[in-house]
Amino acid sequence: MFSLPHRSPRDLPFVVDHTALLLVDMQRAWLEPQFDPHLQEPEGQAFLQRARQQVIPNQQRLLAAVREARQNVLHTLIESLTADGRDRSLDHKLSNMHLPKGSPQAAIIDELAPVENEIVLPKTSSGVFNSTNIDYVLRNLETRHLIVAGIVTDQCVDMAVRDAADRGYLVTLVEDACATYSDARHQACLNAIKGYCWITDTDTVLGRLREIRG
């Protein structure tokens, strides 16, 4: 079990107007059984239970706090730029992963729907820094602190954390606002990426956000 609080040199106060929240792949495709039959299997059911009972409510709290603090919110989703998916990465083609542009399954779930003026970045690879212009956008927003939450912990979230750290962002991973398909996988990922980010929980992040609201 990964232990909190996590000691990290990245554990620094958030700075007003230099802090952003990144929610990774909170889409209907991965959270509604009619789109993902895997969710009806035992590990999928456990994943969905954690997502519904803990991850989504915590992300709703994070969203509300970041919006109240008037900091930037970015959403990523897996979605092809074309209807036939010809623009997808080779890995997504080999994995038969294709969410057509504008399709219902590609949409972000209603509970976390972007509001006007929030940034949505469709991607066609696991790593948002590999198939979108997120680095360019974050630098234009003068982002220093990047708060990350989403699914799944040991795939797209993991890549966002590592790539953001390599590009010079101070990354905060909100552990109880992420999920993958078993607790063992979740814990193993936290241990593997603890050198790239500060790992903490929703309540701690909310406290830091209250501080920058003044």
How buried is 44 (Cβ within 10 angstroms: 0-12 exposed, 13-18 middle, 19+ buried)?
Answer: middle
| Integer CA distances (angstroms), 59 to 33, 39, 124, in order | 20, 20, 23
First to last CA, the chain: 35
Confidence tier at 66 by pLDDT (50, 70, 90): very high
Using the predicted structure, report yes or no on whether residue 122 has a pLDDT greater than 80: yes
Length of the chain equals: 214
Using the predicted structure, report yes or no on whether residue 213 has a pLDDT greater than 80: no
For residue 4, the model assigns a pLDDT of: 82
Rounded Cα–Cα distance for residues 73 and 20 (Å): 6
Using the predicted structure, report yes or no on whether residue 157 has a pLDDT greater than 70: yes
Using the predicted structure, report yes or no on whether residue 214 has a pLDDT greater than 60: no
Using the predicted structure, report yes or no on whether residue 5 has a pLDDT greater than 90: no
For residue 131, the model assigns a pLDDT of: 94
Average pLDDT over residues 161-171: 98
Q: Which tokens sit at 35? A: 């789109």
Domain residue extents for the chain: 19-212
Q: How far is CA 77 from the centre of its chain?
A: 9
Mean pLDDT taken over the chain: 95
Rounded Cα–Cα distance for residues 147 and 198 (Å): 9
DSSP strand E in the chain: where?
A: 19-24, 72-78, 119-123, 145-151, 170-179, 198-200
Average pLDDT over residues 130-146: 97
Confidence tier at 38 by pLDDT (50, 70, 90): confident
Rounded Cα–Cα distance for residues 202 and 175 (Å): 8
For residue 186, the model assigns a pLDDT of: 97
Per-residue DSSP letter, 88: S
User: Right CATH number for 19-212 from 3.40.50.720, 3.30.1330.10, 3.40.50.850, 3.40.50.300?
Assistant: 3.40.50.850
Rounded Cα–Cα distance for residues 86 and 7 (Å): 44
3 phi and psi angles, rounded to 5 deg: -100, 135
Rounded Cα–Cα distance for residues 205 and 20 (Å): 12
pLDDT above 90 covers a percentage of the chain that reads: 88
Using the predicted structure, report yes or no on whether residue 33 has a pLDDT greater than 60: yes
CA angle 48, 49, 55 (to 5 degrees): 80
Rounded Cα–Cα distance for residues 187 and 173 (Å): 13
Average pLDDT over residues 144-167: 98
Instruction: Between 79 and 213, name the one with better pLDDT.
Output: 79
Per-residue DSSP letter, 53: I
Confidence tier at 158 by pLDDT (50, 70, 90): very high
Average pLDDT over residues 55-67: 98
Confidence tier at 40 by pLDDT (50, 70, 90): confident
Confidence tier at 37 by pLDDT (50, 70, 90): confident
